[in-house]
Amino acid sequence: MHKKPMQSRVARTGLAALAGSLLLAAPATADEMAEMVAAAQAEGQVTVYSFTSRIFRVETAFEAAYPGIDLVPFDISSTEQIARIQAELEAGIASADVAYLADAPVVVEALVDPGYLTGYVPPAFAARIPDEFEQPLMAHRLSTKVLMYNEEANPDGPPVMNLWELTTPDWTGRVVMVDPSTRGDYLDLLTELTLQSDAMADAYEQAFGMAISLDDGINNAGEQFIADLLANDVVFVSSTDDVNVAVGAVGQANPPVGFTSYSDRRDNEEEGWALQVANAVMPSPGIVYPAYLGILSNAPNPNAAQLLITFMMGDDSETGGSALAPFYVAGDYLTRTDIPPHPDAIPFDAFRAWRIAPEATREARQDVADLVLSLQ
Amino acid sequence: MTDPAIDIRNLVKRFGSTEALAGIDLSVSRGAFCVLLGPSGCGKSTLLRLLAGLEAPSGGGIRLSGRPVADGRAGVTVAASGRNLGMVFQSYALWPHKTVQGNIVWPLKIAGIPPAQRRARVAAVTRMLGIEALQDRFPGELSGGQQQRVAIARAIAPAPDLLLFDEPLSNLDAQLRVEMRSELLRVHRETGATVVYVTHDQIEALTMATWLVVMRDGRIEQQGPPGALIAEPATPFVSTFLGNPPGNLLLAEPADGGWQVNGVACDGLPVADHAGPVQLFYRPERLTLHDQAGNRRIAGRFLEALPIAGRSIVSADGVDGGSLRRLSAIVDQPPPLAYGDPVFLELPDHPDGVFSMTGERLA
Amino acid sequence: MVVRLGAGGFGAGRLRLSTLPLGTVAWGLVGLLVVVPLANIAIELASADGMQAIRDVFTGRIARNMLWLPLQNTLAIGVVVAVACVALGGLLAWLVTMTDMPLRRTIGFLAAIPFMIPTFSAALSWTVIFGDDRLGPASTGFLHALGVPVPAWLAWGGVPIAAVLIGHLYSICYLMIAAALVLVGRELTDAAEIAGASRWQTLSGILMPVVTPTLVAAGALCFAEAVSSFSAPAILGLPVRFHTLATRAYGAIETGNPERGYVLIATMIIVAAALLAVATLAGRRRRSFATVGGKGGRRIRMTLGPARWPLAIAALAVVLFTTVLPALALLLSSLSAQRGTVFGALTLHYWIGASDPAIAQGQAGILQNPQLVRSFVVTLGIGLATGLVALAAGAVIGAAIHRTQRRWAAAGLRQAAFLPLLVPGIAIGAAFIGFYGAPIGPLPSLYGTPMLIVIAGVAATLPFAVQSVTSALSQISPELEESARVGGAGPLRTWLAVTLPLAFGKLLAGFVLVFVKMVRDLDLVILLYTPQIPLLTVLAFRYASDGFMQFAHAVSVVILVLSVGAHLLANALGRSSQPWLKAPAG
């Protein structure tokens, strides 16, 4: 029934395992694994900066698996992690071991290139992860920022079929997102819209039946969309959870829509939400981007760091066991090719979000950030 | 007959459990310069504040020019502002953010006096006090004496019927005080206002008062013209508080049908029939100094001699009923004595006053 | 810049502690704490990137939204907050210290508390009451839930930001003005009364002008605090895209554009300083009125007559609205089973519950969380250390200001010491990471040590410390110290035996001010903390940004308890340590 997109991808990149083991002289055998655990246990602690609060559940699982090692989790946004790791490494402070973060366009330039953050691909998984997700840092999963709606209030499917509808009076003050001036992933989302300007122009014509005309100072359809969205009183909030509550909370007659993480749908039951992705929206519901795992170059507990990353990739059971459980949810696309897609999720190759290209995004995002600033 | 400027009946003021004024009766005639004199804590400032309307009495009443302004039941019935009075504070209480002129003119503005008249009044009072040149200065830029003059000018500018002074000269140096005393008398004469003046300095009191009120412990000990109080002190306290040097008070006990003062027999007391011990009052100028014991001579030790107006005030301490008491005598020649030398003070044959041990004047 | 906090200065011959060049030490302190880290920012601005940032911010297409509109918003909020705080704080101070208003003790006590409530908690509690459904049910407040229509301008933007800041800062105006009013000689108002002035005339013609220097200083302080505040505009402004320079600077620093952030901060400092300089110059001749004494003694309280109770009730409403209400809102929402519903089912889970994977990613209640205990201890330690070091630094700098003969040098020192008032906490944090984050010569980097937070805290609270110490010492007559010196006591002994005991109460109050500011401050430490030195405010902020509002509010309650506890303890200690001071009547 579901395809296995990751497996097809791994076929294209057959040298993944080799590349992983060449890059890092890491333990490959059971003996070496035992050695790593022993060394990690001698270190006794591992500190991780994580951009998701799900790290707290990893903590519980990890400490159950390795009782002698204390996992100290810190939930810090990707943007702040970058600033913090830069400051700490420049100051020669060894604070953390592992960084779990997104914001790929900045991470590579700011942390990987200067050697602050190094990749680690657990040998046991090297063959099961597509090559493109092993460089320059290993991607643990792909995360999303996509248009979500309230499925309780809209049982027949998404209330909008085209992003351009969000710029019409029907949606004035009813589109919610995190302020892109403060969060890299949302800036990346807007940047992608400008990079996909042709698709945006086509979608405009589809929506309104005429070719798009650009305002003064606007260079392309993507920018025009951003300008129109801001002019339509889009609501900026400070966290994705604010978006989730605004869009998803049950019992609303006329809820807004918003850009948030597809995977936050997993909390629908617990939080009383009815979040659903508007996958069909033209030209695309949003973006997917990698969530990286890396080891700080001055990690005080390098072995425990490797052990944690290995652990976070899951075990050999059907869905990866307790370590992957927090991430085996609808809306998160794991990079491990041997894990079946989540039954409730749209399969990855049917998922219409754009994959960001970190290099191109990095070049364009300052301009987009300034555009957003100039329009508010 | 016109009403007195001030008429106070059985005035009582309590702060919590302490009684600051314990029944004051006082009448001050129009145009008088009434001085309230007494040691710290005697209630004189409280009395002044009640007169000003800054505090309400706990009992009794006050009338100004026949008009009731406060009583123990109704409290303040006429506020300070309605009593047509001016007040000069110990600290001067000049408003620091106003210039000299601003300080003087503000109360006139409050009183609704038209600008032309205001200017005239300010000109008049600044001239009267010799502060015309200081009009644009702030209080912080004035000397103590200048501040004092401004405070007085401010108080008299509205031409009040009643002027109240609360120890106004106590912050000035000795020479300025002498100057300001005559200045105040001149202001009093020129304004014609009734003055109530609080001080603990008896020189101020004796030089300025037309009516002197001596207070102690919330009560009036004695009131009247200063000369009368000096001549006929009504209580032992007044006798030793007033005068410079103060009068001498000695304990006399009946012995062998006569009287003994410090073991020295004395005759001719006007209250020979009195059964118990009494207090004798002698003016300093009536005591004489001797170098050996004799009739009515009290033994003591020489303390100091102060030359004054061609004569000398000699102080000695004598033993009186077991307690040391200072005695003063005014003599023509300074004695060739050093501190601690024995000395004998001879009492005149008749005391200037006799008080019972409870303070009543017997003779 | 010219910020004069209240009148005063040292009496002659103060603090001859040693022959050490006091001025040099003071300038060294101010240099290390204030000048050098800020100069570091200026140097960055002079770089190519910095110049580009200046061009972008002032002339680029972002200029309007990055600089001009936020600047306008910032100044408007600053002025409104300053004026309202002085009016409200002054009125309360007058009612409590000068009138026979009933309940004035209770009201006076409560009025000191709003300053201790973390601003971000106060802002959150505003949304708990006034929020509309712009952000969906999460932001729906009590009034909206009751069906009372809440206009949008009352829910978000400049009005609520100003209201929250006023509710937070009027408290400091109250404290400053009440202290000044108590010092006004009673005879000044007596004299006005005798002159026939009405209550209003006495108040407006005498009392207000006499305490004007304090009013100006209090207003300046509030202005500075308001323009540099980050939390309130971040929470209440963002949903309607209402920005201030502080939120814009934060955004720029956080998104990897620190130079732009520095441009904004530098602009804010310069503009605010210019405004304050004008305000101070306007009131130039009004100096040190508040210390004009008179005969001591009982203060006659103005009788309010029939207005007594209405005024008391109004005053009580103000202090309750700004203390009990936010505290209650925080407490209640920390007990709510479901986020965003204050009046739904209650639970103690967020305080004492064990880990439950179904709730908040399995986070245990805060009292079960070892992180909380650690944060509590670390916060307490850093607060105490900052308080002590700041007061010590304040004493040295205050003494030097007084003793420096050249007036311009003294003024320079004073202005430099007060400069941190205008710098948002986040900018101080950024400056300190920039300068002390890397090793300096042989000295190791301070980053990641509690030392860095303490030093940055001392810098941020230096204006308060200098002011507290100066006013504490200026009220001790120099003769008291001189008589001890003449009696043969050495300088240290004189200080310990005479100065310190006499100034103790005021110094303690200053210490508590610094302590509280440190304990409840988020902006300053958000860039400086590391996982090894967790702080309560950071913990609360982390919880809040994960959407775990109940945890966040529970931690806010802990912060509040810590702050108010310190305040109460200091009150008790200050009173019992100074038996010669009778508790002020009424």
Q: Where are the domains of chain A?
A: 15-142+290-353, 144-287+365-375
* CB-based contacts of A272, cutoff 8 Å, min separation 6: A249, A250, C338
Q: Please tell me if residue A222 touches chain C, with a CB cutoff of 8 Å.
A: no
Taking CA atoms, A7 is separated from A1, A123, A353, B14, in Å, by 15, 18, 19, 99
Q: Please tell me if residue B84 touches chain C, with a CB cutoff of 8 Å.
A: no
Nearest-CB residue to C185 (from B53, B82, B93): B93
Nearest-CB residue to A179 (from C235, C238, C363): C238
Judge: C187–B55 Cβ closer than 8 Å, yes or no. Answer: no
Instruction: Place C269 in a pLDDT band, splitting at 50, 70 and 90.
Output: confident
Quick one: CA dihedral B267, B268, B270, B273, positive or negative? positive
Distance from CA of C514 to the nearest CA of B (A): 33
Q: Using CB atoms and an 8 Å cut-off, which of residues 229-248 of chain C contact chain A?
A: 234-235, 238-241, 243
If one compares C552 and B47, the residue with the highest pLDDT of the two is: B47
pLDDT higher than threshold 70 for residue B231: yes
% of chain C beyond a pLDDT of 90: 11
Nearest-CB residue to B93 (from C188, C209, C300): C188
Name all contacts of B180-185 with Cβ < 8 Å and 24+ positions apart. B180/B145, B180/B148, B181/B207, B181/B208, B183/B129, B183/B149, B183/B152, B184/B152, B184/B208, B185/B33
Q: What is the pLDDT of residue A23?
A: 41
Instruction: Place A296 in a pLDDT band, splitting at 50, 70 and 90.
Output: very high
Distance from CA of C303 to the nearest CA of B (A): 12
Taking CA atoms, C34 is separated from B112, C230, C461, C470, in Å, by 54, 20, 11, 19
Q: What is the pLDDT of residue C289?
A: 45
Inter-residue contact C311 to C101 (CB < 8 Å)? yes
For C348, the domain range is 23-100+170-291+344-353+360-582
Mean pLDDT of the region C136-165: 81
Mean pLDDT of the region A274-296: 92
Domain assignment present for residue C333? The answer is no
CA B186/CA B172 separation, integer angstroms:
18
pLDDT in tens, C433-487: 777 766 676 676 677 778 888 999 999 999 888 888 877 776 666 666 666 666 6
Inter-residue contact C537 to C520 (CB < 8 Å)? yes
pLDDT higher than threshold 70 for residue A9: no
Judge: B52–C187 Cβ closer than 8 Å, yes or no. Answer: no
Judge: C137–A239 Cβ closer than 8 Å, yes or no. Answer: no
pLDDT higher than threshold 50 for residue C38: yes
Q: Which of A281, A241, A265 is nearest to A150 (CA)?
A: A265
Within this chain, domains A15-142+290-353 and A144-287+365-375 share the same CATH topology: yes
| Residue B271: how many other CB atoms lie within 10 Å | 16
If one compares C226 and C193, the residue with the highest pLDDT of the two is: C226
pLDDT in tens, A52-90: 888 888 988 999 899 889 998 888 888 888 888 887 887
- Lowest average pLDDT, out of B91-95, B111-115, C353-357, C424-428, goes to C353-357
The torsion region of residue A331 among left (phi > 0), alpha (psi -120 to 50) and beta comes to left
Q: What is the pLDDT of residue A14?
A: 38
CA A96/CA A302 separation, integer angstroms:
10
Residues of chain C in contact with residue A176, where contact means CB-CB under 8 angstroms, are 135-136
Q: What is the pLDDT of residue C144?
A: 76
pLDDT higher than threshold 90 for residue A301: yes
pLDDT higher than threshold 80 for residue B103: yes
Q: What is the pLDDT of residue B306?
A: 87
pLDDT higher than threshold 90 for residue A181: no
CB half-sphere exposure, A329, CA atoms < 13 A:
17
Residues of chain A in contact with residue C239, where contact means CB-CB under 8 angstroms, are 235-237
Instruction: Place C139 in a pLDDT band, splitting at 50, 70 and 90.
Output: low
Tell the CATH superfamily of the A15-142+290-353 domain.
Periplasmic binding protein-like II (3.40.190.10)
Q: What is the pLDDT of residue C357?
A: 61
Counting the structural domains of chain C, the total is 1
Domain assignment present for residue C393? The answer is yes
If one compares C491 and C88, the residue with the highest pLDDT of the two is: C88
Q: What is the pLDDT of residue C343?
A: 58
Domain assignment present for residue C195? The answer is yes
Domain assignment present for residue C134? The answer is no
* CATH pick for A144-287+365-375 out of 3.40.50.1110, 3.20.20.10, 3.40.190.10, 3.90.870.40: 3.40.190.10
If one compares B107 and C83, the residue with the highest pLDDT of the two is: C83
| Residue A253: how many other CB atoms lie within 10 Å | 5
Distance from CA of C68 to the nearest CA of A (A): 11
CA A74/CA A80 separation, integer angstroms:
11
**Touching subunits for chain B (3+ Cβ pairs under 8 A):** C
Q: What angle do CA C166, C171, C172 make, to 5 degrees?
A: 105
Q: Please tell me if residue B102 touches chain C, with a CB cutoff of 8 Å.
A: no
The torsion region of residue C183 among left (phi > 0), alpha (psi -120 to 50) and beta comes to alpha
Chain C contact probe: residue of A190, A235, A301, A322 with most C CBs at under 10 A: A235
Instruction: Place B84 in a pLDDT band, splitting at 50, 70 and 90.
Output: confident
Which stretch, A348-352, B275-279, C402-406, C542-546, has highest mean pLDDT? A348-352
Looking up residue C59, the CATH number of its domain turns out to be 1.10.3720.10
Q: Please tell me if residue A91 touches chain C, with a CB cutoff of 8 Å.
A: yes
- Lowest average pLDDT, out of A286-290, C27-31, C55-59, C358-362, goes to C358-362
Mean pLDDT of the region A285-292: 93
Taking CA atoms, C112 is separated from C105, C168, C226, C570, C571, in Å, by 11, 10, 18, 13, 11
- Lowest average pLDDT, out of A73-77, A321-325, C9-13, C166-170, goes to C9-13
Residues of chain B in contact with residue C209, where contact means CB-CB under 8 angstroms, are 95, 97-98
Q: What is the pLDDT of residue A300?
A: 92
Residues of chain C in contact with residue A75, where contact means CB-CB under 8 angstroms, are 542, 545-546
Domain assignment present for residue C157? The answer is no
Q: What is the pLDDT of residue B37?
A: 93
Mean pLDDT of the region B254-258: 73
If one compares A287 and C439, the residue with the highest pLDDT of the two is: A287
Q: Which residue of A has its CA nearest to C360?
A: A53
Q: Please tell me if residue A92 touches chain C, with a CB cutoff of 8 Å.
A: yes
Judge: B96–C210 Cβ closer than 8 Å, yes or no. Answer: yes
- Lowest average pLDDT, out of A169-183, B67-81, C8-22, C331-345, goes to C8-22
Q: What is the pLDDT of residue C380?
A: 92
| Residue C320: how many other CB atoms lie within 10 Å | 15
pLDDT higher than threshold 80 for residue A1: no
Which stretch, B134-143, B193-202, C346-355, has highest mean pLDDT? B193-202
If one compares B30 and C490, the residue with the highest pLDDT of the two is: B30
- Which residue(s) pair with B261 in the sheet? B252, B264
Q: Please tell me if residue C185 touches chain B, with a CB cutoff of 8 Å.
A: yes
% of chain A beyond a pLDDT of 70: 92
- Lowest average pLDDT, out of B137-141, B288-292, C222-226, C522-526, goes to C522-526
The torsion region of residue B246 among left (phi > 0), alpha (psi -120 to 50) and beta comes to beta
The two structure tokens encoding residue A139: 């991607």
Q: Which of A62, A135, A91 is nearest to A293 (CA)?
A: A135
pLDDT in tens, B320-360: 544 457 888 888 888 888 888 888 888 887 888 888 888 88
Predicted TM-score (pTM) of this structure:
0.75
pLDDT higher than threshold 80 for residue C122: yes
Chains C and B touch (3+ CB pairs under 8 A): yes
